[in-house]
């Protein structure tokens, strides 16, 4: 689980301690407590429970409840003979690497010249072909010859011949 992050989930299982069968108590009968960093002091938890069926419940701890290295979740049901085992949850820091950003990528791409070629095409031409095949309009699908248009919707960037199974048998880049 991530440290100090909202919107996470923990699953717990409720069962009848006499029969061992799963139990489906009303979530309103649950009292939950957390013990941050195993400090021995339990505090009333503020997160919410959601029944998933067959004795399973999803608990959503608050962001504050996850602001520790580990926490112990203890759930008690007010219904007789209903048990929920304690859950020990370790948290870790969320590390975001900002060293590679879109700006870094654009700067790197701008340092390349159109004389840097990819299979005989300039970098600009290669990107236009890739964009057409990924995002452009296609005509002739299912006919054996597919024509991929550029993002402008009119410029042919690639023509592809396919067999009856849809496998590419010839690709012509324009």
Residue 150's nearest CA partner among 123, 114, 174, 120 is 174
Instruction: Decide: pTM greater than 0.85.
Output: no
**Cα-atom radius of gyration of the chain, to the nearest Å?**
29
Residue 146, pLDDT > 80, answer yes
- Residue ranges per structural domain of the chain: 10-90, 118-173
More confident residue, 89 or 98: 89
How far apart, in Å, are the Cα atoms of 151 and each of 6, 138, 145? 39, 11, 19
Query: How big is the chain, counted in residues?
Result: 174
Name the one residue in this structure whose structure tokens are 């029969």: 19
Rounded to whole angstroms, the Cα distance separating 56 from 66 reads 21
CB 133 within 8 A of CB 126: no
Q: What is the pLDDT of residues 29-45, one digit of tens each?
A: 888 888 888 777 788 88
CATH of domain 10-90: 2.60.40
Structure tokens at 7: 């919107």
Q: What is the pLDDT of residues 65-94, one digit of tens each?
A: 888 898 899 999 989 999 999 999 999 988
Q: In what order do the strands lie in the sheet with 48-53?
A: 48-53, 56-60, 10-16, 82-84
CB-count exposure of residue 84 (10 Å: 0-12, 13-18, 19+): buried
DSSP assignment of 57-68 = EEEE--TGGGSS
Rounded to whole angstroms, the Cα distance separating 91 from 76 reads 23
Confidence at residue 98, expressed as pLDDT on a 0 to 100 scale: 60
Rounded to whole angstroms, the Cα distance separating 24 from 77 reads 11
């Amino acid at each position: 689980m991530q440290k100090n992050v909202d919107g996470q989930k923990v699953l717990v299982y409720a069962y009848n301690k006499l029969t061992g069968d799963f139990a489906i108590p009303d979530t309103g009968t649950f009292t939950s407590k957390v013990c941050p960093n195993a400090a021995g002091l339990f505090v009333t938890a503020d997160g919410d429970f959601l029944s998933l069926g067959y004795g399973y419940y999803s608990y959503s701890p608050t962001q504050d409840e996850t602001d520790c290295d580990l926490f112990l979740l203890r759930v008690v049901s007010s219904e007789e003979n209903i048990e929920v085992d304690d859950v020990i949850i370790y948290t870790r820091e969320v590390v975001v690497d900002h060293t590679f950003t879109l700006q870094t990528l654009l700067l790197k791409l701008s340092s390349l010249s159109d004389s840097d070629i990819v299979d005989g095409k300039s970098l600009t031409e290669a990107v236009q072909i890739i964009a057409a095949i990924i995002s452009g309009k296609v005509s002739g699908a299912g006919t054996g010859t597919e024509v991929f248009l550029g993002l402008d919707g009119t410029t042919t960037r690639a023509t592809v011949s396919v067999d009856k199974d849809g496998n590419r048998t010839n690709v012509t880049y324009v």
